[in-house]
Amino acid sequence: MRDLSEKGRANLDSAAARQGIDPEAAFILLESLSKGGGLQARFNHPALGGMGQWSQGAMTMIGDVSNNDLKHRLDALCFEFTGMLADETNFSDRQAMQSDGAESQDPHMIPAFFQRPDSV
Per-residue pLDDT of the chain (120 residues; tens, 9 = 90+): 889 999 999 999 999 999 999 999 999 999 999 999 999 999 999 999 999 999 988 889 999 999 999 999 999 999 999 999 999 999 997 554 343 444 445 556 666 655 666 655
CA 112 vs CA 9, 47, 53, 54, 91: distances in Å? 29, 24, 12, 13, 26
pLDDT of 82 reads 95
pLDDT of 98 reads 40
pLDDT of 99 reads 37
Q: How far is CA 14 from the centre of its chain?
A: 16
Q: State in Å, rounded, how far the first CA of the chain is from the last one.
A: 40
Q: 99 in helix, strand or coil?
A: coil
Which residues, at least 6 apart from 81, have a Cβ–Cβ distance to it below 8 Å?
A: 12, 15, 29, 30, 33, 38
